[in-house]
Amino acid sequence: DIKGFAFDLDGVLTDTARFHAQAWKKTAEEVGTKWTDELAAGLKGISRMDSLEMILKAGNCEHSYTHEQKAQLADEKNEYYKKLIDTLTPEDILPGMAEFLMEVKHKGYKLAVASASKNAPIILERLGIADMFDAVVDPAALKSGKPDPEIFVRAAELMNLQPCEVIGLEDSIAGIKSINGAGEVSVGIGDKDELYEAAIHFASTAEVSLSTIQGDPYFSKS
Ligand code: G16
Ligand code: MG
């Protein structure tokens, strides 16, 4: 039986991708990488250092920076990003998700956040929903990021549940692979062709509904 939900943060509970993009764009300009929509999309769900590597590779300059310089670039991006997320309020919860959180909480499901973001705790505070979760995975304590299953396995552990008792919600391909690899039921939110590996699919957060999820064969099978 399903007993808990593990939520991705960026793209599922709030749209911080625009802030990540705004901050990484500055980094890209600094290192001479052309900023494109494809590059921005590829950074979804990817950890900070891996994102930086992708930006450097896109400009063929991944070998031009020392370890220390890369750490510095990532720090600068994060300082700018933190200023941007300071502006978040409960209004910035994505459509339908405050209601969905309240419904599953009220029905007694356990809730966890499985975000690659080290800034997740502060973002949840700003959104006013930090108290709703039984657990927030600390991405700094993980060996591998999404698409590795580790983060969603950890989310189940922190809720004291078996992976088969957990539904994971994600907007990124890397995240869906992570949920599936963990042996949980994956809910993909966004482009259906892109997220074809998701067990259950919604076009947007506004469409996410507990009754639709509960009516899905994947829900009753688990
Ligand atoms: C998010 C974003 C990624 C970001 C990553 C790390 O993941 O989608 O773009 O690079 O977190 O964030 P930070 O630099 O704040 O540690 P998620 O898993 O919430 O979609
Ligand atoms: Mg995401």
Centre of ligand 1 from the C-alpha of residue 85, in Å:
12
Centre of ligand 2 from the C-alpha of residue 173, in Å:
9
Is the alpha carbon torsion for 127, 167, 113, 36 positive or negative?
Answer: negative
Atom 15, ligand 1: which residue's CA is nearest? 117
**C-beta of 176 in contact with ligand 1 (< 6 A):** no
Q: How, if at all, do strands 110-113 and 185-189 pair?
A: unpaired
Query: pTM higher than 0.90, yes or no?
Result: yes
Is the alpha carbon torsion for 137, 18, 30, 61 positive or negative?
Answer: positive
Instruction: Give me the interface pTM, i.e. the ipTM.
Output: 0.92
What does each of the 222 residues of the chain score in pLDDT, given as a tens digit? Answer: 999 999 999 999 999 999 999 999 999 999 999 999 999 988 888 899 999 999 999 999 989 999 999 999 999 999 999 999 999 999 999 999 999 999 999 999 999 999 999 999 999 999 999 999 999 999 999 999 999 999 999 999 999 999 999 999 999 999 999 999 999 999 999 999 999 999 999 999 999 999 999 999 888 766
Distance, CA of 122 to CA of 81 (rounded, Å): 12
Biggest alpha carbon–alpha carbon distance for the chain: 53
Residue 10 is a catalytic residue: yes
Q: How many residues does the chain have?
A: 222
Distance, CA of 117 to CA of 75 (rounded, Å): 14
